[in-house]
């Protein structure tokens, strides 16, 4: 790093400091990098350049700084949109010693070709978005119709299951009742047989044969 000079800042030094710093602001660089570049050009330290900028020069270029920041934002925006960068002549900020006269990048300074290209790209994007929206709406309608069909089928199956459960309960109740009737009939038949056996009586006749006594 070059040693610090003790002589006063000249008007040309301030102009170089302003031009370089504004260029770094416009191009998205850092002020520290700008101060280092200025220091190499005018044989001063980066710290001295930073002190000079913040204490004196910056106050004279408030409008130029704001315009440089606008240029940086537009540059970044155009890059995101896929538009080629503008020529350096279109984006140059010029400063004059003792004042803040500048030429800002505005919508009018953009090339007509870049504007047309941007509008065509935007139109194409809008058309693609509309196509996707229509496709999504179609898919949504189909899904809604499918959901309605499934809900209807689910309702039909639920009714069928309820009917089967009802029939099962009826059949099961009838089966239990039939079992009870059969069991009762079996018991009654068994008791009737026992009663018949108890009533039967036999005696021997004169010839030695058994005969049933009624």
The string of pLDDT tens digits covering residues 49-102 is 999 999 989 888 888 888 888 888 888 777 776 654 444 444 444 444 444 444
- Reported as a pLDDT band with limits 50, 70 and 90, residue 4 is very low
Give dist(CA 119, CA 129) in Å, integer.
15
SS3 201: strand
High-pLDDT (> 90) share of the chain, %: 15
| Tokens standing for residue 133 | 């929206």
Angle value at C-alpha 10, between 6 and 12, nearest 5 degrees: 135
Q: What are phi and psi of 204, to 5 degrees?
A: -100, 135
Are 137 and 99 in contact by the 8 Å Cβ rule? The answer is no
Residue 202: its H or E element: strand 201-204
**Mean pLDDT, all residues of the chain:** 76
- Sequence-ordered list of residues with C-beta below 8 angstroms from that of 202, at least 6 positions apart, any chain: 210, 211, 212, 213
Give dist(CA 77, CA 65) in Å, integer.
18
Are 44 and 5 in contact by the 8 Å Cβ rule? The answer is yes
Q: Worst-scoring range by mean pLDDT, 99-108, 127-136, 140-149, 180-189?
A: 99-108
- Count Cβ atoms below 10 Å from residue 20 Cβ, excluding itself: 23
């Amino acid at each position: 790093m070059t040693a610090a000079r003790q002589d006063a800042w000249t008007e040309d030094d301030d102009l170089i400091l302003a031009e370089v710093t504004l260029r770094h602001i416009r191009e998205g660089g850092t002020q520290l990098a700008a101060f280092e570049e200025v220091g190499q050009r005018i044989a001063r330290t980066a710290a001295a350049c930073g002190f000079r900028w913040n204490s004196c020069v910056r106050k004279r270029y408030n409008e130029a700084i704001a315009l440089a920041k606008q240029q940086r934002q537009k540059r970044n925006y155009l890059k995101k949109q896929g538009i080629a960068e503008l020529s350096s002549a279109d984006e140059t900020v010029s400063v004059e010693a003792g004042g803040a006269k500048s030429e800002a990048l505005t919508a009018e300074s953009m090339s007509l070709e870049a504007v047309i290209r941007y509008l065509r790209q935007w139109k194409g994007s809008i058309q693609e978005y509309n196509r996707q929206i229509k496709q999504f709406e179609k898919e949504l309608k189909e899904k809604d119709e499918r959901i309605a069909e499934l809900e209807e089928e689910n309702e039909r199956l639920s009714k069928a299951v309820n009917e089967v459960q009802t029939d099962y309960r009826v059949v099961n109740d009838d089966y239990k009742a039939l079992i009870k009737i059969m069991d009762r009939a079996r018991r009654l038949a068994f008791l009737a047989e026992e009663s018949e056996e108890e009533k039967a009586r036999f005696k021997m006749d004169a010839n030695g044969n058994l005969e049933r006594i009624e």
